[in-house]
Every structure is written in C-alpha cells, then in structure tokens.
Amino acid sequence: MHRPDPGRKLTLTQPASLPPAVVLNMHETGLGIARSLGRRGVRVIGAGADSRAPGTGTRYAEIRTAPDSLTEPDALVAFLEALGAELGERAVLFPTNDADLAFIDKYRDRLRRHFTLGVPESELLHAITDKARLCAMAREHGLSAPVTRYVASLADLDARATELVYPAVIKPVDTTTWRSAEFRDRVGVRKGWRVPDHAACRAAYARIAEVAPAALIQEWINGPENGYRVVGAAMAADGTALGAFTARKRLQYPPGVGLGCLYEAQPDDALMARTLAFLRAIGFAGVCEAEFKADTRTGEPRLIEINPRHWDQHALGAALGVDLPWLDYRARIGLPPQAFQGAQGHGVWLRWSGIAGSLKEAVKARDPAVVGPLLRSLGQRRCYAFWASDDRGPVVQALRNRWFRKRNRQA
C-alpha cells in the first residue's frame, strides 16, 4: 500500500479555520490551484506520481508522491484514505485532468468519508464528459453545437455515414484511453484527428479502433484557430454564478488540434450570459471551462466541449480579478458567496513550450501569422503557465526537465 510520505513543509502560517486542499497532479492546472489557495493561507497538499512535474517546485504546496489516477487507481484511493486519516479533518479534493475525474467518480463513496469532492454528481458528470450527449443537451437549451455521433466499430461508422457532416474530427469518448502507453505506441500522441471525408474517416478510425474502438465523430467547425473562445466559470450549488471571464485562444500547438499556448482575455458578455444560463439550467456546480468556436459561415459560436473541472489558464482569470479556484473552494467549504467576480482589464496567458513549437512550425511554413498575436501580447498584462515572480521554483523545474530531456536525446 502507498502511504503518505512526510513531504515538503511550508513556512507559511495557515489560518486554522480554513480546511486543507488536496490537489491531484502538479502540472499547470494543479500549480494554478495551489498558487490561488496557498497565497490566501490555505494549506495545500499536491499529490502526484510525476516527481518532475513543474508544480512540485512551488512554495505554495506540500508535495507528496502518490500513485497515478489512471494506472494505479486502487493504490491511489488507499493513499488518499491514509492521507485523509492523517489530516484529521475534511479536506477539499481537486482533480486536474480527465483521469482524475473518472477516478473520483468511481471511488466517490470511499473518498467522501474524508474529502469534499470537487466534481459534479455522477449523472451530470457523465452527460458533460460524453460530448455527444453534451451537444444534444446544449441544443435543447438553445446553444449551437456541432453534429456529434458515437461509434464503436467500422460498421457503426458506416451505418451513420448519412448523419455525419464533413470535414470532421475524430475524438475519444474517454480521453484517458488516448493517453495510454499502448495508444501512444501504436497511434501516437493526438488530441483529435481531422478528416476531410468519409473515406479518410474510415482509414483513420480503423487505425484508432485497433486500440480504442469507442470514439466520437464531430463536425469540424471551419475557421481560424483564433476563432476559439472560452468561458471560465464558477457556479454555486444553488445556481448562483460566483465568477466568470471570457478569453480567446490565439495560438495552439500542434496546429489544428493541439493545446492552447496563448490566450487573450476578451470580453464577450453575450456568450458569458448564455453559458451561465446553460450551466444554471443543467444544475452544474463547481468550476468549468466551456469552449466554443465561431462558425465562419454564420459568425455564431458553437459549443465544442465543457471541461467540468479546473484547467490550465487560472492565472489569467486571477490577473483579471476572477480567482476561480478560490471561489470554488469557498463555496465547497460553505462560506457565503461574495459579489459576482467579473473580469477587469486585459491580459494574456502564455505557455512558452507551445509558443516555441508554434514559431518553429511558422518558420517551416513561412507563415507570419504567429507573429501578430505575440506582438499584441507585449502591450498587455502577461501571466504564464509556470512563471510567477513570487514563486520561481516551478519554472526552474520546467527548465531542468527540458535540459534533462535534451541530454537524454543526445546520449
């Protein structure tokens, strides 16, 4: 059995009235939560299997080595039960990726004995994470969403051929299946697979189905990468909106279906209002990121997905006065809500590893489009995936990781 190790202790003084927070995995998302709560005096324990995760260098969390939620779920639940007994009070448990969500959902009855769980109840969680169900639910509530169909075999794919809209993107039903070692070895690292027509879809899906037959075929929304917009929000259990901000994805890497590496805060009151109304209508409580893409044919934003958990760009919200992890934590420990927090001013969030990749791709393609968003960012308030002036350890850890990877490749 894995048991908590002593970890690294903080020198901060935590108010005894605030219960601790346990954050699973200390990459960008976990680091954002730790900084938000740790700066306010909350005792934060970062628990993860990756001892080199950049967030393990933060001064705002005690770091514990823990089993992985994807590959060792039974060991992780035993670890957390031991940690909960050690803490002696109910802590708030924060997931930071989809594997964490699935893990907490599976073991929620055991975990509830020690923790307040930062996830929706099972039925709503499954409805949101199943993109086909989410898109259908969104349309029922007046939000535009792309045509999305579930398939589990080539026969399914062919049977739905007349229902599909091309170009399309093949996506996982459960993102954890595409992050397994077997999938990476046989298919590669992909977030999605864009296909222009049914023949290309069959060929790509046949390769994917050898490892992960359950997949979604979703209509591809035409438009540039900077057509993606996100709404980050925190909702109380009674439907009260606690805070929200909107941003535009300016760059992502790899291009097309990669991770966002440059986001620019951009007010969109109409999109925010529609998103908050939808979250209220479906009874969502907690923090989420809703991602939309503007359809170039109509200009209308169409809902692509909702992440029903914390995500990477918390620092951007906090820089604009919308501290979502803190709002979520307050609600979960029963503190009365404050006035709604809306974004104030402008700012950008940057992930330098992705920007470096985008620049390399732009040089190869002789495409100057990357330069514009970077120049725009120079005149705005900037925040970063790892860097913070009061917490330099994570960026040092990230640089150390890159140096070791480079040395290993050269060896």
Which token pair is 351? 């992930």
Which token pair is 70? 């994807």
CA distance 32 to 311: 8
Helix (H, G, I), strand (E, B) or coil at 162: helix
Where does CATH 3.40.50.20 sit in the chain? 21-119
CA distance 402 to 406: 6
Tokens 């907490």 belong to which residue?
A: 104
Mean pLDDT over each residue of the chain, to the nearest integer? 89
CA distance 271 to 407: 46
- Which CATH number, 3.40.50.2000, 3.40.50.20, 3.30.830.10, 3.40.50.2300, labels domain 21-119? 3.40.50.20
Provide mean pLDDT across the span 93-117: 96
DSSP string, 230-295: EEEEEE-TTS-EEEEEEEEEEEEESTTTSEEEEEEE---HHHHHHHHHHHHHHT--EEEEEEEEE-
| DSSP code at position 90 | P
Provide mean pLDDT across the span 270-292: 97
Model confidence over 159-213: pLDDT tens digits?
A: 999 999 999 999 888 777 777 777 877 777 677 889 999 999 999 999 888 888 8
- Which CATH number, 1.10.3470, 3.30.1490, 3.30.300, 1.20.1260, labels domain 147-219? 3.30.1490
Query: How many residues appear in the chain?
Result: 411
pTM of the model: 0.87
Model confidence over 366-397: pLDDT tens digits?
A: 888 788 888 888 888 999 999 999 999 999 99
Residue 281 is predicted with a pLDDT of 97
Provide mean pLDDT across the span 283-302: 92
% of the chain residues with pLDDT over 90 = 66
Cis bond upstream, residue 254 (ω within 30): yes
Provide mean pLDDT across the span 257-269: 87
Confidence of residue 406 (pLDDT cuts 50, 70, 90): low
Residue 6 is predicted with a pLDDT of 40
Where does CATH 3.30.1490 sit in the chain? 147-219
Confidence of residue 11 (pLDDT cuts 50, 70, 90): very low
Residue 112 is predicted with a pLDDT of 96
Residue 16 is predicted with a pLDDT of 53
Model confidence over 223-236: pLDDT tens digits?
A: 777 788 999 999 99
- The answer to whether residue 408 scores a pLDDT higher than 80 is no
Please give the distance of CA 335 from its chain centroid, rounded to a whole number.
25
Provide mean pLDDT across the span 124-148: 92
Residue 4 is predicted with a pLDDT of 38
Provide mean pLDDT across the span 21-31: 97
Which token pair is 381? 């308030």
Residue 368 is predicted with a pLDDT of 81
Backbone conformation region of residue 88, classed left if phi is above 0, alpha if psi is from -120 to 50, else beta: left
Provide mean pLDDT across the span 73-88: 97
Which token pair is 304? 């692509």
Q: Looking at the domain 225-379, which fold is it? A: D-amino Acid Aminotransferase; Chain A, domain 1 (3.30.470)
Where does CATH 3.30.470.20 sit in the chain? 225-379
Backbone conformation region of residue 7, classed left if phi is above 0, alpha if psi is from -120 to 50, else beta: left
Confidence of residue 256 (pLDDT cuts 50, 70, 90): low
Q: Give the residue from 82, 192, 88, 196 showing the smallest Cα distance to 131.
A: 192
Residue 405 is predicted with a pLDDT of 66
Confidence of residue 363 (pLDDT cuts 50, 70, 90): confident
Q: Distance of CA 266 to CAs 92, 242, 272, 277, 319, Å?
A: 31, 19, 11, 20, 13
Contact by Cβ (8 Å): 117, 93: yes
